[in-house]
Each structure stands twice: as structure tokens, then as C-alpha cells.
Structure 1
């Protein structure tokens, strides 16, 4: 073994020490097509996500794209709500919730996100489907790759790559459409007038999809994805993951149907290698739990189909825990999982409350820097403020400004003009707040400047500030 290649020592299920390269340029993985419970589940989880991803940009609400991340305008439009830079804390909050959700799900079900909903897995499965449609199942693809080039091979390979390119372009257009505007993007590309940046990003994401899902595949999961490296700290002995029941399966070996293999000291595993042939990351689950395993369940479906043919009980490979394999029981009610679930539920509830109660009107009040602390005019004490109003609603509104403060004070507000803001518009207006001098009983007191939509009084924002008068 070359000293230039980094290796690591590890133990297999029998305790034997073996050496393994930290990076291996594996041969192409040919995945056998299999049917089963987890294959159907993947359809039910993947198809809604794909339909949503590709068709959501085409949905319009109130004359605009339903989901549009308008970076130049610094606006994120999500259905009936628009978010601006001032809502950045909500994005940070959402990312923290996603992280806790990942921790909770991983503690409970292992790396199930990778196996069923990760984009790398979903798109790789689509590309493998295209290969199977054009080139046939595993054995036919292997023979086709080994055969010399011919017209049939050229047509089959060409058909595969044509579907890959179509999927890649559709993916890139949909993704960039969330930022560019899908209708504008398609029309601009069709008329060769798209912005160079838009063209660049479409080409970039099309190539990235084509390369990752077509060629990198399991290499991304094995060597590029950081999740595979830190998932082990979230696992415990009760985490449900794909396991091989070595007590039942060993000793392995081929056999014929109807023979009493147990009398010969053999287990249920017939060493058919179907579990390896269906694995998208090219590992042998019988070697024990491995960081590369994405919990896709394909090996479970493959093994169960073989067990059915041999008339053996299912479950030689199954979703279970280490504790269940050792003791026959899995502890579902454990503090760690409850802790993650409680924190996640609390954060989701608080986040939902913030979004639901969030006002689409925001006012910011600053004392005018060029003004003195106060003015005295005709027996009134005046303070000058600058009010910046942000209309984050989807409709234009006319706004009024009023003052709420100490009881018994007669507040009056002077503004240079009526305030009318279009949807998404931000406007700053100076105002003068006056109080009769004889009413003031203190040098300073708190007031609230209230900004309210005239046509929709429920849209309002209150900002606390200080009114300053002369020394008493």
C-alpha cells in the first residue's frame, strides 16, 4: 500500500482491523432496480417536492410571482407576504429551526433526510431512472458500457444524456426563476436579451446538476457532504437506522430452496449481494453501520424480496436500533429525543407567532439631527422628528400620524404633505410635535408616535420616543 495515500484503521463486524483509503476513486456504480415499501415511500415524498419546486415559480398571486426572491429590491415575496432586510432575524430563526429539526430527526430516524428528500439523492435517482429507460437495468448497462461503440450504443447513450440535459436545464431555469422571475427569464432567454448574470447562473446550475447527479453521485455523499461526518454525534443506541441482523444472517452462503440450512449452521443470508447491488453509495450494509449509509432503505426492499423468494421471514435487513438487535427492545421515550422535540416545538410556535402577528407596516422615528432640543413658537413647545415609514404590504396605502402621550396634553402634529406609499415603498417625512407650554409639567416625558393606514386602521405601528421641553 502506498504511503502517499491517506488511510485509516477501522474494524469490521468481526473485530478484524482493516485499512481503508480516506478517498477512493471508485468504479462506476450500477444500481439494480428494485420495488418495495421504501421505494414507494420515496415516490410519495419526492414527487410532491419536485412538483412544488418546478411549478411553484409559475404560480401568480395578486399579479406577481407567488415566490420571488427579489435581491435587487431586497424583497422576498412569499405568497401573500413580503419580507425585507429588517426581517433578517426571521431567516436566521428559520435556519436555526431547520438545524434543530435535522438534529431531532437524525436522533430519531438516522440519516433519513439523505435517503428520501435530499436534492442530491432525488436528482440522482431521476438520472438513474433515465439510464434505466434508455439503457436497461443493471446488467444491460454494464454490458453496454463494456461493449464497443456502435450505432445502438450511441443512440442509447445519446438518449440518456439528452434526458439528463433536459432535467438539468429545467432545474436551472426553475431555481434561477425564483430570483429572476421565471416568466421574464424564459422570455428573455428565448429572445436572447437575458442579463449576462442570468445566463451565467442558468448555465452554472445546469452544469452543476448534470455533473453532480450524472457523474459524481455517491462521491458527493461520501466525500463532499459534511452531514456524513458529524451525523455520528447525533446517533445513539436507540436511533432507528438500516441494520443487518448478523445473529440471524450469519453464517452466510448460497443454498437451495427447501434444504434445512440451520442444521448445517448457516444463517438466513444467502450471500446474493442484492443489498450491495441496489445501494446508491456502493457499500455493504452487512459490514455494519457506516457513515456513508444514507438510510434510503433500498437494501431493505432488496433483501425482503429475496427472503420472500426463499420463503424466509422478512427483516434480515431492516430499520431498527442497536439496542433492538442486542436486547430486542428500542427505547423511544428517551430524554435526548424529548429535549430536541420540546425545543423544536417551542421554536416553531414562537416563529409562527412572530410571522402571524408581524405587521406589514413599520415605522422608525429619529430626532432631527439638525434641530435643537426644542423650539418655542407662539406659546407652544415643538420637537422635530423624522419618521421613516416602510409599507411592506402588497397594496398601496395612505398613512396618518398621531401622538399618544401624557393625559391632559394637547398634542398637535404638522407634516409637509399627505403620506401615500406604494406597495414596498419606504418614505421618510419630518414632523413637528407641539404642546402648549403651560401644560408641560416636566422637562421630559415619553410619547408614542403612531403610524396608521387610513383605509385599513388595523395596519399600524407605534414607536416610543421622548418629548423634551424647557427646564421647569
Structure 2
């Protein structure tokens, strides 16, 4: 090796093209903090607006009233969920399974088509993390100032800024925790009781636990939740294909990357459009370099797109070096929007949503359960009749007191022992034992199918029918 080549080789070994704070950082080490740089642009503004909408919806919903109660109230002690005019009882919790299925297939469908936009724009971890980062920047300053502040020795100024930052984080975390609790405990009473010391131990436990969880997740763990703990990042590759929209870097246009002046002709320097400013890395909340290709840590937030577009605009280059694109588009292959996997997810999603809407529209305002006497199938009365005993459980699922009428069908002639008209209060479960006696000569089979019908006395069209059996043994 010649002397000049040896010196060039040694010089190349000494040069580290990364930023000083990133040169020794391992982004897979949770102990290494990522200092995210603020950025402005179309996608950043969209993410902020969607985040504020989601946050406002979460904070304000418990304060909306519906009649004499909270509009959205998951009343666990009475085992019923109020969602505006709809009241869901434990017997209707199959609807909850349908909600989870809709959420799952919606996620599959959107991810197959648009990638991890849920993570980048609407995931609570992302929304709260960006709020905490915004507060951090307002109190401690821009990225370089925050790095400098953390390296400085402790002083009154540093202590004041740190206390203000963590105080604001704890305040937001406490508000988040109490808002979440207010979906289960009436909001108006919750805040008064919590701050006056009159809340229950359960409320204090969950309030403190959720405060610490929010403070830890959004303030300290941040990208660790996305890169190390969130299972979605691990199985997203199952839903991705070459037509899925991702945040991608156009290496054909960007390489070879390198710094240059604005007036320089990149073609004359044998350079691509990427000036290697590393801004795309500095604005990334998970600390990855999108120029290295698709990575599971990418949450599709679009921050690197805005940073790169701003740089391209300043350099006088065409925007879109980093953009929402597909692998096929980057490779120059024609994209396919309609593909079997996407269509399959869409069809299943439509079917589940249709079934869910149908079940919601046809929820019964009352419920009847018929339980036979387990001690004896039947008994003979002193009059020679065959008698069966039943226990009726009647649920009034409405918000008003109602009178209900009971009737039985399937028997030609019978004696009903017990009340046929019952008054049941709103939301009450009434237990009523009855017996039915029949002349054995009127029965054609040892087991006769019967139906017991419960209907609103003033409106017989509102009814519920439950099947049962009448045993005679003959």
C-alpha cells in the first residue's frame, strides 16, 4: 500500500459521519435517550390535529350527560354499560367480542393498505408521547439546548426547568388517570371526592397507578414501548406486502449522499439529492435512520418526510426523497391496490360490522330465563294433575319501571300457579317461581315442548320468548 493510500485509509478510520451524540449511542439499548428534534410540515400538522382531536374526545366525553346520568358510563357495580341511549347488560357482552373483532380486522385492513398509520397518528402511546415532548421543548428548549442542559452540572436554573417539566408531566398524567376512572365512576363526584379525600381505596389505587403508568410510558419509556414491548411491531410483517404504503427513502434518487453547497451541481459532484444532514434521524421518535430501509421500529409518523421535504425545499430540489410510498413504487413496479389479502380483510370487516349493527338495532329491552326445578322432573297433585315447577328470572333492561305479562304456549289446557302480571323496576332482575299443572290425558308425549312468553303489558309487541319442556313421565 502506498504512503498516500495508507494515510487516506487511516483518515477514513478516524472519521465518524454520525452526529456526536449518536456516534456512541446504541438505539437498541433502552438506557440511551433519544433527543427528538422539533419539525414542521404537512404530516406533523396532521398528526398534531388528530392527536388533539383524540385527546379532546377522551377528556370531554365523560362530561356529556344523557338524561339524569353520564352519557358514557361503565357501571361495573350494577353490571351495565351506558353508551348514550344504549344500555348493555352482561347478557349482551357478545357485543363486546364483536367490538374487539371489528377493531382487530380494522387494524389488519388499514395496516395492509396504509402501514402503521395507527401507530403514527392515533395510538395513545404516540399521542401522549408527543404531548410530553411538546411540553419538554417548551420548558427546556430545542434539541441542542436539551442536550446541553443534561450535560450541565446541577444548578438552580436546571433544577427549576426539570421540576417544571416533570411537574407538567405528572399533572397531565393525573388528568389522564382521573379521566379514565371517570368512565367507571361519575365524573362530577370523582374529582371532588378524589381531592377532598373522600374517594374509595379502589379509586385512589387506580388513580395513582394510572398516573404513574402514563408518566412512565410517555415521559421515560417512550420509544421503548414501540420497539421493545408493543407486539404490533413484531407481527406487522405478516400484514405487509410490497403494495403496502410505508415511509420509504428513494435510494436511487438520494445516493450517493453527501454534503454540498446550495449552488453546487450534485451531478457534477457525482452525488444524489441526499445531503446527509441526518435531520431525518434527529426528528424520528424511535431514533432510526429510514435511509437504511424498512424497519419494524418505524411507526409511519411522517416526521422524517417533513424534515426531508424542508431540506429539499431549502436546497431547491424536488420534494419526496422520503415519502409515503410502496416497495413496488420504489422498484418501479406497477402497484396493485386490490389484492386478495386486502379484499379478504375488507369482506370480513364488512360482515362483522353489519352483524354488529343488526344486533345493536335488535337488542331486546327485556330478558327472560326459564329454569326447571332440578330436584324433580314432575309431581302429581291431589287432583291427579301433572305439575312442573319453574323459576323465572326476568330482567328489565330499560330505564323505566314496567309491568310485564306472562303466558305459556304449547299446552291446550293448564293451570298456572303464580302471578301472571309483574311490576319490575328499571334495571332490576326479578326472580319468580311458578308451576304449571296439566291433566295427563291432555298430553300426547312424555316430554312436551312449551314456550313461555314475557311481554310489556301496555305494549304486547315488545316481548321475549324462552323455550322449555314439560315432563309428564307417562
The answer to whether TM tops 0.5 is: yes
How is 1:10-409 mapped onto 2 (pairs within 5 angstroms)?
23-376=28-381, 378=383, 381-405=386-410, 409=412
Q: Which SS does the other structure have where 1:179 is aligned? A: coil
Shift, 1:70, TM fit: 2.4
| Cα distance between partner residues in 2 of 1:347 and 1:194 | 40
Distance 1:470 1:279, change over 3 A: closer
User: Separation in 1 of the partners of 2:202 and 2:103?
Assistant: 30
The answer as to 2:399 corresponding to 1:427 is: no
How far apart, in 2, do the equivalents of 1:454 and 1:147 lie?
78
Contact kept in structure 2, 1:402 and 1:451, CA below 8 Å: yes
CA displacement at 1:377 relative to structure 2: 6.1
1:450 aligns with 2:453: yes
In the alignment, what sits opposite 2:8? none
- Which secondary structure does the structure 1 equivalent of 2:335 belong to? coil
1:238 positional shift: 0.9
- Please, which moves more after superposition, 314-323 or 186-195? 186-195
| Structure 2 contact 377–471 (Cα < 8 Å) conserved | no
Residues 457 and 307 of structure 1: CA distance in aligned 2, closer, same or farther (over 3 Å):
farther
Q: Provide the C-alpha distance between the structure 1 equivalents of 2:197 and 2:243, rounded to a whole number of angstroms.
A: 57
Distance 2:416 2:120 in 1: 62
1:463 aligns with 2:466: yes
Kindly provide the CA deviation profile for residues 226-279 of structure 1, in whole angstroms up to 9, marking residues without a partner as x: 111111121111111101110110000111113221232211101111111110
Mean Cα deviation higher: 279-288 or 231-240: 231-240
The RMSD of aligned alpha carbons is: 2.2
**Which residue does 1:12 correspond to in 2?**
none
3-state SS of paired residue (2:244): coil
- Give me the whole-angstrom Cα distance separating, in 2, the residues matched to 1:22 and 1:29: 8
1:108–1:240 contact (8 Å) kept in structure 2: yes
**Secondary structure, counterpart of 2:268 in structure 1:** helix
d(CA) in 2 for partners of 1:315 and 1:194? 54
Moved more, 436-445 or 425-434: 436-445
Q: Which residue of 2 aligns with 1:3?
A: none
Give me the whole-angstrom Cα distance separating, in 1, the residues matched to 2:377 and 2:214: 61
Which of 355-364 and 176-185 deviates more? 176-185
Change beyond 3 A, Cα 1:410–1:44: farther
- Write the distance in 2 (CA, Å) between the matches of 1:148 and 1:239: 48
1:16 corresponds to: none
Residues 415, 346 of structure 1: CA spacing in aligned structure 2 closer, same or farther, 3 A cutoff?
Answer: same
Asked if structure 2 preserves the Cα contact closer than 8 Å seen for 1:69 and 1:178, the reply is: yes
Secondary structure in structure 2 of the residue aligned to 1:364: strand
2-side partners of 1:391 and 1:206: how far apart? 38
Q: Compared with structure 1, are the counterparts of its residues 237 and 76 closer, same or farther at alpha carbon in structure 2 (3 Å cutoff)?
A: same
Please identify, of 430-439 and 85-94, the stretch whose mean Cα deviation from structure 2 is larger.
Answer: 430-439
Query: Quick check: 1:375–1:383 contact (8 Å CA) kept in 2?
Result: no
Q: 1:435: how far off?
A: 4.5
With normalisation by structure 1, the TM-score equals 0.90
Q: Secondary structure at the match of 1:329?
A: coil
Closer, same or farther: CA 215–385 of 1 in aligned 2, 3 Å? same
What's the CA shift for 1:455? 3.9
- SS of 1:261's partner is coil
Q: CA deviation at 1:26?
A: 4.5
How far apart, in 1, do the equivalents of 2:425 and 2:267 lie?
Answer: 80
For the 8 Å contact 1:401–1:413, the answer to whether it is kept is no
Does the 8 A contact of 2:407 with 2:420 survive in 1?
no
Q: Give 1:448 deviation, angstroms.
A: 1.2
Shift of 1:433: 2.9
Q: TM-score when scaled to structure 2? A: 0.89
How far residue 434 of structure 1 moved from its aligned partner, in angstroms, is 4.2
Bigger CA drift: 346-355 or 246-255? 346-355
Gaps of 5+ in 2: 1-24
Structure 1 alignment gaps of length 5 or more: 1-19
